[in-house]
Each structure stands twice: as C-alpha cells, then as structure tokens.
Amino acid sequence: MRKFRNAVLTASLVALAATAAALFAGPAAPHASAQTQTKAAKMTYAPITGGEYRIDPAHSTIGFKIRHYEINWVDGRFKDFSGTIRYDEQDPTKSSVEFAAKVESIDTGVAGRDKHLRTADFFEVEKYPDMTFKSTRVERKGKGWVLHGDLTLKGVTKPVALPFQLTGAIKDPRGGTRFGVEAQTTIDRRDFGITWGKALEGGGFDLGHVVQIELHLEAIKAAPKAAGQ
C-alpha cells in the first residue's frame, strides 16, 4: 500500500510540474504561414486626382502646443472646423486651400483653462469667433511643398508658411477618394494681439510666445453620382 501511495504521489507531482511548465512557457509560437499572414502588406497609393476635396473633421486634427514655465509643453486642438482643398493634379502649385475653425471649440483637456482661453486675455471668442486661413500660393521646395497664405486670428491677419507632405490617394468603401496632409509651422502669438503672461525671475516666460501648429488632415472627394441620380 505504501508503494502504491508513493507511486500516486509521484505521478501527481509530475503532472503538476508539467502543467506549471506549460503555463510559464506561454503559448506555442505560431506556424510560419500564420506569421506571414499577420504581416502588414505594403501600401500602394494611387495618384491624387484633381478636384475639390473637403477636410474630414472626424479623421483630422488641428493641433497646437506651447511652452509652460519653460519646462514643459501643453497641447490642445480645435474641435469645430471645416475646410476645402482644390487640388490641381496637372500643376499642384495652382492648388488652393481655405479653412475656418470656431475658436470657442478650443480643447486643452482642462475645462478651467479652456474657459480662460476664450476670454479677452487670449482669444476673446465673443468678439472674434472664427479663425480662418486662405492660401495665396503653393511652392515646390526640394522634395516637399510649402503652402503660403493669410491666417486671421483675433481680428489680425498675418502671412504664414506651412511646409506640408501629402499621402495618398485611396478609395474608401463608399467609392470616395481620400488623401492625407501633414503640415507643421510656428507662429508668435503676440503678432495676433495675444500677449497675456509674465516674465520669470530666472529668465523666460510663464507662457511661451511661440506656438507650434501641427495639422493632420484627411481630405475626401465624394464618388461621382451615377447617371440619373
């Protein structure tokens, strides 16, 4: 009987050890063919066709960031905006862009700060509800492009330059054509009459003067309607 109990105990310990080993070993490596299937296919984009595209706000971001106490960046965005891109595929330098955003829609993730930004200390949204941009020309520069235009903010209009890159195009499930735009630039907020803040004892400012603007846009041209629609 003792030998039988020892045999049962030994078998139980072996089974327990095997189970623990399997648990700590983790799942088995996938088969080579499965690994191949999960690799992302290389994307092939189509040429961007000419025409009028609207900026898709559901898949676009109008963002900015600014230095705080010279030690960190605070970022934000405008949530309510619209825009149109008229793209000339024969000569992209003849393309044009128009854009407008409701300044009241500013969002930095802190309600109290957003409320302050809407006051006369900053954007004074009741008097100046809209921020607008209208392009004046498109320039080819090296391997990229630069969009020049007039930015109007808080009743002041200043020329700005936006280096940008295009990605696309693709067909969406509804037959529309989409392409992406990424652009970055900087502006001095004082140029637009936004001067709130003070100097720090150790140098610098509690709120930076230079604002970095980052645009991540998705533009869409709807599929042409079939005859008779």
pLDDT of 22 above 60:
no
Query: What is the arithmetic mean of pLDDT over 152-175?
Result: 95
Please say whether the beta carbons of 218 and 59 come within 8 A: yes
pLDDT of 5 above 60:
no
pLDDT computed for residue 75 by the predictor: 97
pTM comes to 0.79
DSSP structural state of residue 199: B
User: What is the phi/psi pair of residue 98, to 5°?
Assistant: -130, 145
Chain length of the chain: 229
Q: What is the CATH number of domain 51-221?
A: 2.40.128.110
Please say whether the beta carbons of 150 and 136 come within 8 A: yes
pLDDT of 1 above 70:
no
User: What is the phi/psi pair of residue 45, to 5°?
Assistant: -95, 150
Top-confidence range, 11-15, 43-47, 73-77: 73-77
List pLDDT tens digits, range 29-65.
Answer: 455 455 555 566 788 899 999 999 999 999 999 999 9
pLDDT of 2 above 60:
no
Query: What is the arithmetic mean of pLDDT over 111-134?
Result: 98
Please say whether the beta carbons of 100 and 82 come within 8 A: yes
pLDDT of 14 above 50:
no
List pLDDT tens digits, range 197-208.
Answer: 999 999 999 999
pLDDT computed for residue 9 by the predictor: 39
> Which ranges constitute the DSSP H helices of the chain?
2-25, 32-38, 111-117
Contacts of 45 (CB under 8 A, 6+ apart): 167, 168, 169, 170
